[in-house]
A and B are shown apart, each in its own frame.
Chain A
């Protein structure tokens, strides 16, 4: 079986994996990082989104062997020493979730979005998150939360 080395949430892992193992199953079943959810399993809903080498990806559509040598950040690695990331805080304060199932993916897609565009308009947030579905239809507050977090991150960067 192929051997892979992946850095996940700041920890280096080396594992033998079956080639057909999907990254999301590696994260959840092998590493126990169940914060990353599986939603549709058809590359549509974005619940399984993680950041891989700086770019948001759907981990249900990446083989673990493809992630060999990569740096992966999941929702579980976002907080800094117990302090929530501005996006985590903003999703909380702006009530950007109802059932919460899409939230890890929404937040990780937003991490990718804000890395690309630190100050997106409402429209740009909606376009940037077009690969993530919320079935509680909470998009209004999700957009609000991403913009709130962007403002906080901007403030932090210029302080």
Chain B
């Protein structure tokens, strides 16, 4: 199928992108890697009048060490994120989660910024970035602002980005070796979106759990933290019973969606099972 006609604007810098968005307002859509947007455009579920292509904005590509955190440029592809030495050393969970996105061809083109700005509750990045307490950086004509992952994802295919705002970077904390992590994704076939996903980060401390963070994919219109599980694990013994008890609370307070894959009760069940597996693997990793 062929997308509806649109005006194509290629920009060479973030400033030019911001200018283009300001000029065209809500008629304009940013094109990153295009692996969420172009399929929607072919189905004519997205019909932008102006497409602003960020493909040549080199300042948005790459990962840099920013001291106490890593700064990942929004146009860094999934393939680049997965193989980046800084990401692998300091934030391995993002490399693992990114490896679950689509397939190799998709990861060669798709970008971290595009995946976030798309705001898909079934996407793999949101839950991971939420568990990491990542920060999103955005620029508009007035300047730059930081948005926590918790505030960034606001609804189904909705984010906190304003129409004239460009997501420029994702800031990730550096995790030391005391953190274990794992992402469990349940899907019908390998390329499909998560029916439910659970991303766990566990800090080990002398045989106990210092801190546990669990982000859940597709258990609501936005990614959610398994707060009941996290509360029970803070300071708990790193033992099977404690994990089981805590994972049983993973779906507490959630309102999972219904679709052709799963009803809410089944999604809650998956959240509990996947959270337990993710916690077990985190402690073993």
How close is B123's CB to chain A, nearest CB, in angstroms? 14
| Cβ contact within 8 Å between B1 and A41 | yes
| Cβ contact within 8 Å between B105 and A131 | yes
Interface: B55 (CB within 8 A): yes
| Cβ contact within 8 Å between A20 and B103 | no
C-alpha spacing A18/B41, complex, angstroms: 15
Interface: B88 (CB within 8 A): no
State the 3 A-B residue pairs at the shortest beta-carbon distance, nearest first: A131-B103, A19-B8, A55-B108
Given A19-B8, A65-B8: A112 and B1 interface contact (C-beta under 8 Å): no
Interface: B266 (CB within 8 A): no
Given A19-B8, A20-B6, A57-B108: A130 and B39 interface contact (C-beta under 8 Å): no
How close is B29's CB to chain A, nearest CB, in angstroms? 13
Jot down 28 A-B pairs with beta carbons below 8 A, ordered by A: A18-B5, A19-B7, A19-B8, A20-B2, A20-B4, A20-B6, A20-B41, A22-B38, A22-B42, A41-B1, A42-B39, A43-B39, A49-B105, A55-B79, A56-B105, A57-B108, A57-B109, A61-B38, A61-B39, A61-B109, A62-B34, A62-B38, A63-B34, A66-B55, A109-B104, A130-B103, A130-B104, A131-B106
| Cβ contact within 8 Å between A109 and B8 | no
Interface: B191 (CB within 8 A): yes
CB within 8 Å of A: which of B5-22? Answer: 5-8, 10
Chain A residues contacting B108 (CB-CB under 8 Å) are: 55-57, 112
Interface: B35 (CB within 8 A): yes
Q: Which residue of A lies closest to B43 (CB)?
A: A42
| Cβ contact within 8 Å between B106 and A66 | no
C-alpha spacing A74/B53, complex, angstroms: 24
| Cβ contact within 8 Å between A109 and B191 | no
| Cβ contact within 8 Å between B8 and A62 | no
How close is A49's CB to chain B, nearest CB, in angstroms? 6
How close is A8's CB to chain B, nearest CB, in angstroms? 18
- Interface flags for A1-34 (1: CB within 8 Å of B; 0: not) read 0100000000000000011101001000000000
Given contacts A49-B105, A57-B109, 5 further A-B contacts (CB under 8 A): A43-B39, A44-B191, A46-B103, A61-B106, A63-B34
Give B residues with C-beta under 8 Å from A: 1-8, 10, 31, 34-35, 38-39, 41-42, 51, 53, 55, 79, 102-106, 108-109, 190-191
How close is B233's CB to chain A, nearest CB, in angstroms? 32
| Cβ contact within 8 Å between A19 and B51 | yes
Chain B residues contacting A128 (CB-CB under 8 Å) are: 104
Chain B residues contacting A49 (CB-CB under 8 Å) are: 105
| Residue in A19, A41, A132 whose beta carbon sits within 8 Å of that of B6 in the complex | A19
Interface: A113 (CB within 8 A): yes
| Cβ contact within 8 Å between B104 and A43 | no
Chain A residues contacting B55 (CB-CB under 8 Å) are: 66
CB within 8 Å of B: which of A38-91? Answer: 41-44, 46, 49, 55-58, 60-63, 65-66
C-alpha spacing A49/B228, complex, angstroms: 45
| Residue in B1, B7, B106 whose beta carbon sits within 8 Å of that of A58 in the complex | B106
Chain B residues contacting A57 (CB-CB under 8 Å) are: 105, 108-109
Q: Which residue of B lies closest to A19 (CB)?
A: B8
How close is A133's CB to chain B, nearest CB, in angstroms? 9
Q: Which residue of A lies closest to B83 (CB)?
A: A116
| Cβ contact within 8 Å between A65 and B35 | no
Chain A residues contacting B5 (CB-CB under 8 Å) are: 18-20
Chain B residues contacting A113 (CB-CB under 8 Å) are: 104
CB within 8 Å of B: which of A74-133? Answer: 109, 112-113, 128, 130-132
C-alpha spacing A145/B38, complex, angstroms: 32
Chain A residues contacting B4 (CB-CB under 8 Å) are: 20
Find the residue from B79, B109, B190 having the highest chain A CB count within 10 A: B109
Chain B residues contacting A58 (CB-CB under 8 Å) are: 105-106, 109
- Interface flags for A130-142 (1: CB within 8 Å of B; 0: not) read 1110000000000
Given A2-B8, A19-B51: A43 and B35 interface contact (C-beta under 8 Å): yes
How close is B252's CB to chain A, nearest CB, in angstroms? 34
